[in-house]
Structure 1
């Protein structure tokens, strides 16, 4: 009489175990593909007008952001230069005063 251990898989169950592990792997791959939104990417590639529109909007937003950032940075630098110019430092003060004067003339629309 042969005693069968219930924890040990039977011969027919080896195929079931391998199919179940394959099913788990396929489910994980499907979930990963859905997570990466590859279907939306493929749909986007099939519609070139959408790509052009999104890139145009992104480029415009980037350009406006750069312009606002540079304006803020330049205004801060000019403010600091004015303060340094008011200190009347011997060499640096004259140089900074010239820069501030040139910028003010350009802002008024006059030629230098």
Structure 2
């Protein structure tokens, strides 16, 4: 292999490695690690948004379940109606005990 071919091979390998590093965004990640306050801020923001998303999702899910239980309770089914009435009594009792 001639020195020119070795140089071309080395250039192609280096160029490919540079492109892979650019795709992986190594420089931006390193820059982020070098500024700890920005890293803390981004983590705080992402954690807050994640918590808000979980809270909203659970609220929507719980509201859907309560709505379905109300519809089932309105049907006056013998077994399910008694079960739902017990749940409603328990929830009302818990609400009366807590003073916000």
- TM class by shorter-chain length? 0.7 to 0.9
Q: Which residue of 2 aligns with 1:111?
A: 97
In structure 1, what is the equivalent of residue 58 of structure 2?
70
Structure 1 partner of 2:41: 53
Superposed structure 1 runs of 4+ greater than 3 Å apart:
100-103
d(CA) in 1 for partners of 2:70 and 2:30?
55
Q: Considering only CA atoms, is the larger Rg found in Structure 1 or Structure 2?
A: 1
Question: How many residues are matched?
Answer: 98
Cα pair 1:82 1:97 within 8 Å, conserved: no
* Further displaced range: 69-78 or 31-40: 31-40
Structure 1 unmatched runs, 5+: 1-12
Could you say what the CA RMSD is over the residues aligned between the two structures, in angstroms? 2.0
Higher relative contact order (CA 8 A, sep 6+): 1
Question: TM-score, normalization: structure 2?
Answer: 0.86
